[in-house]
């Protein structure tokens, strides 16, 4: 089975922090107002939007400023960004 999705997998501390608070995935999803499958995917290391990170952080009782503690930044952010852009996407022309 081959996985060709363009998703990035990164280690984060969501599961550890959730378990420390004796919360289930369903409880965290409900409190963060996101889908249960979102929590599952995030805990597996899948990338998510910044708004989703904010909701999870707040549901865990943390501040948004703690995001790098829970979701460590990628060491190769530029590489990830470049790989996510499709070559068929038109880029806006730059003015001289």
Cα 61 to Cα 20, 31, 96: the distances in Å are: 12, 10, 48
pTM of the predicted structure, to 2 decimals? 0.69
Distance CA 82, CA 51 (A): 21
pLDDT computed for residue 76 by the predictor: 45
pLDDT computed for residue 26 by the predictor: 98
Distance CA 80, CA 76 (A): 6
62: which 2 tokens? 């943390």
Instruction: Note the pLDDT tens digit of each residue in 56-82.
Output: 999 999 999 999 999 998 764 444 444
Q: For the chain, what are the domain ranges? A: 14-73
Cα 92 to Cα 40, 89, 95: the distances in Å are: 36, 10, 9
pLDDT computed for residue 7 by the predictor: 58
Structural contact between residues 83 and 6, judged by C-beta atoms closer than 8 angstroms: yes
pLDDT computed for residue 89 by the predictor: 47
What fold does the segment set 14-73 form as a domain?
Answer: 434 Repressor (Amino-terminal Domain) (1.10.260)
Q: Collect the ranges in the chain with pLDDT lower than 50.
A: 1-2, 4-6, 76-86, 89
pLDDT computed for residue 77 by the predictor: 45
């Amino acid at each position: 089975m081959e996985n060709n999705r363009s998703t990035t997998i990164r280690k984060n501390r969501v599961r550890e922090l959730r378990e420390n608070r004796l919360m289930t995935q369903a409880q965290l999803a409900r409190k963060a107002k996101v889908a249960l499958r979102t929590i599952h995917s995030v805990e597996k290391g899948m990338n998510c939007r910044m708004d989703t990170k904010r909701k999870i952080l707040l549901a865990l009782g943390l501040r948004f400023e703690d995001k790098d503690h829970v979701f460590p930044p990628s060491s190769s952010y530029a590489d990830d960004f470049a790989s996510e852009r499709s070559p068929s996407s038109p880029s806006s022309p730059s003015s001289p």
